[in-house]
Amino acid sequence: MKAIILGAGFGNRLGLSLPKPLIELTPAHTILDRQLNSLAAILPLHDITVVGGYRRELIMRAYPFLSFVYNDRYADTNTAASLAAGLQNINDDVLWMNGDVVFCDTILADFAPDGTQNLVWVSNHPLGDEEIRYTLDSAGQIKELSKTVNNGLGEAIGINFVRKPDLSLFKSCLAQCAQADYFERAIELAIARGVKFAPVDVEDRFCVEVDFAEDLERAQEFVRAEARDVAHRLARPLRTS
């Protein structure tokens, strides 16, 4: 299995002048650091590719042990184009995620592809204006996946998996996407051609895509609370018989 992190976009809505994966959650600990820690539990770091765009040299300098590809049209394309760039030389099962999603480690800790299902990780938390919404068909598979879905059951959190037998078709669906399309459009096109995607419900585990300042504040507070909890557990005296 390979993994792709989409890190080509701007952080302009946050008023920052650096790629969003480099946003710090705590001093010297970035969103990308946290994603790499989660991914390292399920695959080697040399199997991870980052798609760069805006100020990509900053990510490349900070993480020289990773593989990189470049979306040279990052300023006028969206995540469909970045994912297509990342998949060019991949012919394996592939897990990918947006480079601005902060999530609880357990969301990926138990993931092991069984070779039979493509997956979209979803949350049923209350929806805002920016979320990618989803619906299910009668068999419980993903039916619709976009920001314009009516009566969405929840949001797609930006983590996805496609198995190798469906990858070629999925790449062709990415090639059909318009410049402004998110990669979820390619998932919808693949579904229309008979490919199945199952939802993976993250349930009550923490996940947020960092688009706005309030999202970043939520992510930072979660990481701080997580650190406090670890410190508290380590400080407990050992029981003796």
Per-residue model confidence as pLDDT tens digits over 101-127: 999 989 997 787 787 899 999 998 766
Instruction: Answer whether residue 240 is part of any domain.
Output: no
Using CB atoms within 10 Å of the CB of residue 160, give its burial: 0 to 12 exposed, 13 to 18 middle, 19+ buried.
buried
- Length of the chain as a residue count: 241
Work out the mean pLDDT of the chain and round it to a whole number: 92
Judge contact between 13 and 211, C-beta under 8 A: yes
Nearest-angstrom CA–CA distance, 11 and 136: 32
Strand locations in the chain, DSSP E? Answer: 2-7, 24-26, 29-30, 48-52, 67-70, 94-98, 101-103, 118-123, 132-136, 142-146, 154-162, 197-201, 207-209
pLDDT at 175 (0 to 100):
97
Reported confidence tier of residue 191, pLDDT bands at 50, 70, 90: very high
133 located within any domain: yes
Domain that residue 208 falls in: 2-235
Question: Is position 127 within any domain?
Answer: yes
Residue 184 resides in a domain = yes
As beta bridge partners, residue 142 has 136
CATH number of the structural domain spanning residue 147: 3.90.550.10
Would strands 24-26 and 29-30 be described as parallel, antiparallel, or unpaired? antiparallel
- Structural domains in the chain (count): 1
Q: pLDDT value at position 14? A: 84
Indicate whether 241 belongs to any domain: no
Q: Is residue 222 part of a domain?
A: yes
Q: What is the pLDDT of residue 236?
A: 64
**Distance of CA 200 to CAs 118, 142, 161, Å?**
10, 10, 10
Flag whether 131 is in a domain.
Answer: yes
Average pLDDT over residues 146-150: 92
Q: Confidence band (pLDDT; 50, 70, 90) for 239?
A: low
pLDDT interval class at 232 (50, 70, 90):
low
Is the CB of residue 45 less than 8 Å from the CB of residue 5?
A: no
- pLDDT confidence bin for 218, thresholds 50/70/90: very high
Does any domain span residue 14?
yes
pLDDT at 129 over 60: yes
Alpha helices by DSSP H, listed for 90-146, are 106-109
Location of structure tokens 């410049």? 179
